[in-house]
């Protein structure tokens, strides 16, 4: 349960307020504004502000004086053209801001995306809650045998139980000791004989599955780039869980851009020059095998997977 009662009521209060605006407004996104979409066991994603809509992309591409729309079908055609040909700047004209609660090890992957604005909850200034990520059993997987950066088989019950117990106990003990070093306790009592360690130091005792939170704001182009990497099958499951929820918010916000993104980015494949040469030989009726294809074994494997053979 990611939200406390006072947090819920703060969110509800904000959802209950509205005002008139002359800005582009998207009803489907207004519907879910401020709402906390649960992710993993204690995390969430909330859209807390946005600027622009599908029309704003078109408007920027045309540098127009008014709304930029002629016909809806023309707008969608233009957006698809821009996406297909990687004319990326009009997509930068839409902006979105999220409030995200996430485990620190996920935050460390996420922050590598530099073209964004971030304000993280400060553990120099405040105390972190006793919340840490424990994977569901179906996500406790072994190291992949074929991919040094991936997961393979699901662990069996005994091994999974051992892992979960270690994760739970270590995170709990580390957080208990964090509070003890701070000379804080659940009931607010402090030992008057002790000073308590500075928060900026005590936090180093926490484990990497401890939850943090931040405000994260970026433009649509950079968001789609983030999603193309993090909603991808090669991304670690935990960050992909966030990316998938965010992709749904993009669909509510800019449905035309989202469709173009699925067609020309998420669902697209790139053939290298040697792959293209091999493909053309196949299409010309030639029998092509890996030896003689100009592709390494690894590339041949990727090629065969792409063409679905």
- Compute the least distance from the CB of residue 256 to a copy of itself, in Å: 14
| Of 38, 118, 130, 251, the one binding a copy of itself by CB under 8 A | 118
**Residues in region 119-138 near a copy of itself by CB under 8 A:** 119-122, 124-125, 133, 135
Binding mask 189-228 for a copy of itself (x = CB under 8 A): -----xxxxxxxx-xxxxxxx---xxx-x-x---------
**Residues in region 224-253 near a copy of itself by CB under 8 A:** 236
| Of 267, 287, 289, 291, the one binding a copy of itself by CB under 8 A | 267
- Compute the least distance from the CB of residue 225 to a copy of itself, in Å: 10
CB under 8 Å to 206, separation ≥6 — which residues? 104, 123, 128, 174, 175, 178
From CA 92, how far away is CA 88, in angstroms rounded? 7
- The HSE-up count of residue 152 (CA atoms within 13 Å, CB side) is 9
**What tokens does 69 get?**
């729309």
**Cα–Cα nearest to 139, from 173, 167, 104, 108:** 167
| Of 37, 42, 98, 99, the one binding a copy of itself by CB under 8 A | 99
**What tokens does 30 get?**
């207004």
Contact 196, 208 (CB under 8 A): no
- Compute the least distance from the CB of residue 248 to a copy of itself, in Å: 18
Contact 224, 261 (CB under 8 A): yes
| Of 130, 141, 255, 290, the one binding a copy of itself by CB under 8 A | 141
52 binds a copy of itself (CB under 8 A): yes
- Compute the least distance from the CB of residue 159 to a copy of itself, in Å: 5
**Residues in region 1-30 near a copy of itself by CB under 8 A:** 3, 6-7, 10-11, 13-15, 17-25, 30
Q: What letters, b where the CB count within 10 A reaches 16 and e where it falls short, cover 292-302?
A: ebbbeeebbee
| Of 182, 224, 227, 278, the one binding a copy of itself by CB under 8 A | 182
Q: Is the torsion defined by CA of 165, 169, 170, 171 positive or negative?
A: positive
**Residues in region 274-293 near a copy of itself by CB under 8 A:** 274-276, 279-280, 282-283
**Residues in region 149-178 near a copy of itself by CB under 8 A:** 149-153, 155-156, 159, 162-163, 166-167, 170-171, 173-174, 177
DSSP characters over 37-80? EEETTTEEEEEEEEE--HHHHHHHHHT-SS---S-HHHHHHHHH
Q: How many residues bind a copy of itself (CB under 8 A)?
A: 136
What are the C-alpha distances in Å from 69 to residues 24, 26, 54, 55?
Answer: 12, 15, 10, 6
- Compute the least distance from the CB of residue 187 to a copy of itself, in Å: 19
- Compute the least distance from the CB of residue 164 to a copy of itself, in Å: 10
- Name the residue nearer to a copy of itself (CB basis): 200 or 292: 200
From CA 215, how far away is CA 254, in angstroms rounded? 21
Cα of 148 vs its chain's centroid, Å: 22
What are the C-alpha distances in Å from 116 to residues 105, 110, 231?
Answer: 18, 10, 18
**230 catalytic residue (yes or no):** yes
Q: How many CB atoms lie within 10 A of CB 158?
A: 8
Catalytically annotated residue among 151, 230, 281, 309: 230
CB under 8 Å to 267, separation ≥6 — which residues? none
| Of 63, 73, 192, 233, the one binding a copy of itself by CB under 8 A | 63
- Name the residue nearer to a copy of itself (CB basis): 174 or 244: 174
- Name the residue nearer to a copy of itself (CB basis): 197 or 290: 197
Which active-site residues does the annotation give?
230
């Amino acid at each position: 349960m990611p939200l406390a009662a006072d947090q819920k009521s703060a969110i509800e209060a904000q959802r209950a307020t509205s005002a008139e605006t002359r800005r582009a407004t998207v009803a489907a996104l207004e519907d879910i504004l401020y709402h906390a979409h649960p992710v993993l066991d204690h995390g969430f994603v909330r859209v807390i502000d946005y600027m622009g809509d599908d029309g704003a992309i078109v408007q920027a591409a045309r540098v127009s004086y008014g709304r930029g729309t002629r016909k809806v079908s023309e707008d969608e055609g233009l957006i698809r053209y821009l996406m297909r040909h990687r004319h990326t700047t009009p997509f930068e004209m839409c902006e979105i801001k999220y409030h995200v609660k996430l485990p620190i090890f996920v935050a460390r992957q996420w922050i590598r995306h530099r073209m964004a604005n971030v304000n993280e909850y400060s553990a120099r200034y405040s105390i972190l809650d006793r919340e840490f990520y424990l994977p569901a059993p179906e996500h406790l997987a072994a190291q992949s045998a074929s991919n040094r950066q991936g997961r393979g088989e699901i662990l069996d019950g005994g091994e999974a139980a051992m892992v979960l117990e270690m994760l739970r106990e270590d995170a709990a003990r580390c957080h208990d000791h964090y509070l003890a070093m701070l000379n804080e306790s659940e009931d607010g009592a402090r030992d008057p004989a002790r000073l308590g360690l500075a928060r900026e130091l005590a936090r180093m005792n926490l484990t990497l599955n401890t939850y943090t939170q931040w405000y994260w704001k970026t433009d649509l182009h950079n968001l789609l780039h983030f999603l193309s990497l993090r909603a991808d099958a090669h991304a670690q499951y935990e960050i992909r869980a966030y990316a998938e929820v965010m992709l749904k918010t993009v669909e509510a916000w800019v449905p035309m851009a989202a469709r173009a993104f699925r067609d020309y980015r998420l669902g697209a494949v790139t053939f290298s020059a040697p792959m293209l040469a091999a493909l053309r030989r196949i299409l010309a009726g030639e029998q092509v095998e890996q030896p003689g294809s100009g592709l390494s074994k690894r590339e041949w494997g990727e090629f065969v997977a792409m063409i679905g053979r």
